[in-house]
Amino acid sequence: MNVTVSVIKADVGSVGGHTQPSDELLAAVRERVEAERGKLLIDTRVFYCGDDISILMTHDRPLGDEAIHRLAWEAFRAGTDVAQRQGLYGAGQDLLKDAFSGNMRGLGPQVAELRLKERPNESLMILAADKTEPGAFNLPLYLAFADPMYSPGLLLSEDLHAGFRFRIMDVEHTDGDRIIELEAPERLYDIAALLRDTHRYVIASIWSRKYPDEQAAAVSTTRLRQIAGRYVGKDDPVAIVRVQKIFPATEELGPPFAIGAFVAGDTRGSHNLPLLPVPVNTPASTFFCHPMVTALGFSMRDGVLTGPVDLFADPVWEPIRHQIVRKAMEMRRQGFFQPAMLPISELEYGGIVARLRRLDDEFRVVADAS
Ligand code: 13P
Ligand code: MG
Ligand code: MG
């Protein structure tokens, strides 16, 4: 059976700052989508990571389907109404346009979608991050899909021997989406050269090379700044990853996240801190809005979901979290000093740009600078 899996995510308001949605807001979103279970949708789940609500939907519509995207839009609108009534912070933050127009593209919410021919034991991982950007998934996905040090399946399973194809998007390109397709392992160094630059190059999808029609992963690639033309909040990405059999195993995805690689985001979207794996429905941290990621495991049959299993909730993640938090605390000791604060090219808030412009006027050219 062919099934489409859609994850659409937005921040439409949170309690007392950029923390987490209120119970009432969440209930309003859930009520709207759950009314479609058995009608437009086969199945659905609604969960949050920090102040971002993800709507997971399975259905038989094509990718980018208007009815599916409209449903998510309406659910987020209903959530926004509650957020406004309750005076929540950032009510409707990620709904950048007033009206829905065809699909979510350019409207603000993050979208990851994947259409698949269901395996008899279809296994899925849904990733959702807060206080960071889509490139935050670059390193963990690269390691899980291209590096045998992290993904022994590349050596141990015939189905993975041929490697994977990476579709990488240039998200800074203003004149339409620019995509490059590179195959691992042959183009490993080219892939690495792009993915190291998480602000500009983002994994959009990953495909099996042995079974070229089989898509392994889909990542949301929206840059809110490109739409709004100013900072409105971080891009807080979501991703769908198929696991097991012809793809890396669920447990091969874990260790790449245990690195806690430094990513852009956190307070005012203007700093670098390590990406922290946390259980689902965790509020954003008052420790400088530490970037964080949740992972949910599902089984699916005929589009009906079983789960989730909270994949960062088992006891092993506790000491890993301690380590990553220590790394974050070290970085915070140097405050505004780069690379704790992002370089000027990436600073999301306008204030420092205006300050430097003013200072620029005070500079004088002198013959002898001493
Ligand atoms: P969000 O993008 O998660 O709303 O966070 C914005 C922010 O600036 C936090 O300091
Ligand atoms: Mg917010
Ligand atoms: Mg957020």
Distance of CA 235 to the CA centre of its chain: 7
CA distance 280 to 267: 21
Distance 266 CA to ligand 1 centre (A): 7
In this structure, the number of other CB atoms found within 10 A of the CB of residue 27 comes to: 15
Please report whether residue 318 resides in a domain.
Answer: yes
Closest atom, ligand 1, to C-alpha of 93:
4
Q: Find all residues with CB under 8 Å of 309, minimum gap 6, and list them.
A: 296, 297, 298
Return the pLDDT at 195: 98
CA dihedral for 12, 16, 17, 21, sign (positive or negative): negative
Distance 231 CA to ligand 2 centre (A): 11
CA-to-CA dists, residue 316 to 83, 88, 221, 278, 323, angstroms: 36, 35, 30, 12, 12
Q: Yes or no: say if 113 and 9 are a contact pair by the CB < 8 Å rule.
A: no
Considering 81, 101, 116, which residue would you say is the last residue of a domain? 116
For residue 316, give the nearest of 232, 268, 258, 241 by alpha carbon. 258
Both 219 and 76 in a single domain? no
Q: CA angle at residue 249 from 247 to 254, to 5 degrees? A: 125
Please report whether residue 210 resides in a domain.
Answer: yes
Q: Which helix (H) or strand (E) holds 231?
A: none
Distance 268 CA to ligand 1 centre (A): 6
Please report whether residue 370 resides in a domain.
Answer: no
Considering 47, 81, 116, which residue would you say is the last residue of a domain? 116
Both 239 and 223 in a single domain? yes
Peptide bond into 152 cis (omega under 30): no
Both 134 and 176 in a single domain? yes
Please report whether residue 93 resides in a domain.
Answer: yes
Angle formed by the axes of helices 66-86 and 23-34, nearest 10°: 160
Both 195 and 95 in a single domain? no
Q: Yes or no: say if 262 and 246 are a contact pair by the CB < 8 Å rule.
A: no
CA distance 366 to 1: 73
Return the pLDDT at 347: 80
Return the pLDDT at 96: 92
User: How many domains, the chain?
Assistant: 2
Please report whether residue 369 resides in a domain.
Answer: no
Q: Please report which ligand is nearest the Cα atom of 53.
A: 3
Residue 59 main-chain phi, psi, to 5 deg: -165, 180
Both 62 and 176 in a single domain? no
3-state class (DSSP) for residue 180: strand
Token pair 């990476």 is at which residue?
A: 166
CA distance 144 to 126: 15
CA distance 83 to 291: 23
Both 303 and 185 in a single domain? yes
pLDDT in tens, the chain (370 residues): 999 999 999 999 999 999 999 999 999 999 999 999 999 999 999 999 999 999 999 999 999 999 999 999 999 999 999 999 999 999 999 999 999 999 998 899 999 999 999 999 999 999 999 999 999 999 999 999 999 999 999 999 999 999 999 999 998 887 778 999 999 999 999 999 999 999 999 999 999 999 999 999 999 998 877 777 777 777 899 999 999 999 999 999 999 999 999 999 999 999 999 999 999 999 999 999 999 999 999 999 999 999 999 999 999 999 999 999 999 999 999 999 999 999 988 886 668 888 888 999 999 999 876 6
Both 26 and 128 in a single domain? no
CA distance 187 to 326: 35
CA distance 190 to 174: 22
Q: Yes or no: say if 310 and 280 are a contact pair by the CB < 8 Å rule.
A: yes
Residue identifier of the C-alpha nearest atom 6 of ligand 1: 233
Considering 116, 136, 171, which residue would you say is the last residue of a domain? 116
Distance 276 CA to ligand 2 centre (A): 18
The tokens describing 48, both together, are: 């949050």
CA distance 23 to 197: 37
Both 27 and 163 in a single domain? no
Closest atom, ligand 1, to C-alpha of 284:
3
Return the pLDDT at 206: 98
Both 175 and 101 in a single domain? no
Q: Yes or no: say if 303 and 291 are a contact pair by the CB < 8 Å rule.
A: no
Q: Best of 15, 51, 348 to mutate for ligand 1, by most ligand atoms within 8 A of CB?
A: 51
Rounded (to 5) percent helix, strand, coil in the chain: 30, 30, 40
The domain that holds 10 is classified in CATH as 3.30.70
The residue segments making up the domain with residue 57 are 1-116
Q: Best of 289, 290, 292, 332 to mutate for ligand 1, by most ligand atoms within 8 A of CB?
A: 289
Residue 258 main-chain phi, psi, to 5 deg: -75, -15
Return the pLDDT at 330: 98
CA distance 104 to 94: 11
Catalytic residues: 11, 231, 234
| Ligand 1 binding residues, C-beta < 6 A | 11, 18, 50-51, 90, 93, 130-131, 233-234, 236, 267-269, 289
CA dihedral for 110, 116, 118, 122, sign (positive or negative): negative
